[in-house]
Amino acid sequence: MTKLAQRLEQKQVLQPQQILQAAILQLNTDNLEERILEELEINPALDQVESNSEQEEEMTDNEDLDWELDDEYEPPNVYEKKEFKDMPIPQKKNFLEYLADQLNLINFDTNSRSMAEEIIYNLDENGYLAVDLELISDRFEMEMMDVLPILKKVQGFEPRGIAARDLQECLLLQIDKKEHPVAYALVNEYFDDVANHRYEHLAEKTGHSASELKHALEVISHLNPKPGEGHEDSETISVIPELIVYERDDNWVIVVNDSWLPDLQVSSEYVDMLAGELDKKAKSFIKKKVDSAEWFVDAISERRKTLTNVMQEIIKKQPEFFQGDVEKLKPMKLQDIADVLNMDVSTISRSTRGKYVDTPYGIFELKSFFTEGMITSSGEEISTMQIKRLLKELLDDEEKQHPYTDDKLKELLNEQGYPVARRTVAKYREQLHVPVARLRKQI
């Protein structure tokens, strides 16, 4: 028989205001603008503050102008969004349109053109044919031998290497066989050895001299393995910093870069309606909208406050960086800032992820100021960023014919006072996007 029992327990439940604040804090400036415009559409109790853009009539007498600067001067917002209505924007063709223009220059019959279009529409983001050619031939009820000439025509389009079925074919399409016969032969007959940098066997297998192989490999190294990537149809992504930091009178000034966003307020009309005589259902609806508007305005204000406070603590904890030594970051964790500001570490994470700050030394992601640390042989605590920079220098200066192994890199770092393990070196090397020694070897 089931027994009824009472149990007392404590639960921490986030309030709607807290959930909204967390969501707003996580947004970058561009996404925040979209969120504000969306909220203005769905919540009638939220109003946009109309800025007084009307300027007073210009004085014709220069002596009446007041040139006195305000003590609270801030630099102009260089990131303010502007619309150039009178300037025509050139229309850019996307990748498919670029290929379609080349297709129009080929005298295909209707069926062959449809098949060529099918090939083009099945290219992946790197420009490779993403489906088996047999599936295309089956769809058009044609033999493979009839489809291959059409594929070859498409593979002759720019950029070279397009519509290849694998990397080897992609590289072969880009090599002029008559101009570079050795390079073509290496990719065609010894592709595995070339791909895996097994150069020591190539001279013996091919019979070519070291200088011939070196020239051929130089040609191969300049080929594009991803011909569809980086085409001009992709828009240039510009970063708009959330914060602007500059020094004035030996003090750091922090400006939240959102002055171009709409200023918000709770609708006074809806507040007055709430105080009036309304039926229960209407009053409940209006109260819900007014509360939501208040929470939204508060969340925007809290976002500004949190970003400013986090940036203040970053400046305090990274004095060398903000004195101009941008290479020297102190070890710092998200928890360090959270403890000082008495906030949850997840709040600090939201306020730094995908957010950028414009400093006198460049634009940096806030996350980049947080690094792990380690103790050197001399007992000094340093950031792992310094070790990665030193590792990068060692890799750049290594002899390419005899590149350093991870064990050798570990020894070199240990000699300079950085007690790192081989697996740590391998991890940092991978984070620097540097392959293993075997793949770095050159003739």
What's the CATH code of the domain at 385? Answer: 1.10.10.60
What is the per-residue pLDDT for 358? 92
Same domain, 356 and 262: yes
Instruction: Quickly state the pLDDT bin for 331 (edges 50, 70, 90).
Output: confident
Same domain, 175 and 281: no
Angle between helices 181-189 and 210-221 (to 10 degrees): 80
Q: Quick check: is 13 in a domain?
A: no
Mean pLDDT of 36-60: 71
Mean predicted lDDT score pLDDT of the chain: 81
Mean pLDDT of 200-208: 79
Q: Quick check: is 81 in a domain?
A: no
Distances from the Cα of 280 to the Cαs of 266, 275, 289, 293, in angstroms?
21, 12, 14, 20
- Backbone dihedral angles phi then psi of residue 246, each to the nearest 5 degrees: -145, 160
Write down which residue in 221, 252, 281 finishes a domain: 221
d(CA 162, CA 106): 16
Q: What is the number of structural domains in the chain? A: 3
Same domain, 344 and 392: no
- Backbone dihedral angles phi then psi of residue 306, each to the nearest 5 degrees: -65, -45
Q: Quick check: is 11 in a domain?
A: no
d(CA 298, CA 303): 9
What is the per-residue pLDDT for 380? 64
Amino acid sitting at position 13:
V
pLDDT digits (tens, 9 = 90+) for 74-124: 554 555 554 434 444 444 557 788 888 898 888 888 888 888 998 998 888
pLDDT digits (tens, 9 = 90+) for 349-408: 888 888 899 999 888 888 888 877 666 666 666 667 778 888 888 888 888 888 888 888
Higher pLDDT, 443 or 162: 162
Mean pLDDT of 278-306: 89
Same domain, 202 and 116: yes
Q: Quick check: is 54 in a domain?
A: no
Higher pLDDT, 160 or 237: 160
What three-state secondary structure class fits 255? strand
Instruction: Quickly state the pLDDT bin for 70 (edges 50, 70, 90).
Output: very low
Mean pLDDT of 284-300: 90
Instruction: Quickly state the pLDDT bin for 66 (edges 50, 70, 90).
Output: very low
Same domain, 261 and 357: yes
What three-state secondary structure class fits 409? helix
Write down which residue in 311, 345, 369 finishes a domain: 369
Mean pLDDT of 13-37: 83
Same domain, 189 and 259: no
Q: Is the pTM for the entire model greater than 0.85? A: no
Same domain, 378 and 261: no
What is the per-residue pLDDT for 378? 67
Same domain, 377 and 284: no
Q: Quick check: is 293 in a domain?
A: yes
The contacts found for 322-330 with CB under 8 angstroms, 24 or more apart, are 322/245, 322/252, 322/359, 324/361, 326/361, 326/362, 327/386, 327/389, 328/383, 328/386, 329/369, 329/371, 329/383, 329/385, 329/386, 330/373, 330/381, 330/383
What is the per-residue pLDDT for 313? 93
User: Rg (Cα) of the chain, in Å, rounded?
Assistant: 31
Residue 2, pLDDT > 80, answer no
d(CA 361, CA 325): 9
Same domain, 128 and 192: yes
What three-state secondary structure class fits 52? coil
Same domain, 100 and 216: yes
What is the per-residue pLDDT for 436? 82
Q: Quick check: is 177 in a domain?
A: yes
Residue 395 structural domain:
373-440
Residue 161, pLDDT > 70, answer yes
d(CA 381, CA 359): 25
Instruction: Quickly state the pLDDT bin for 175 (edges 50, 70, 90).
Output: very high
Q: For a pLDDT cut of 90, what percent of the chain falls above it?
A: 21
pLDDT digits (tens, 9 = 90+) for 241-290: 899 999 988 899 999 988 888 888 888 888 888 777 778 888 888 889 88
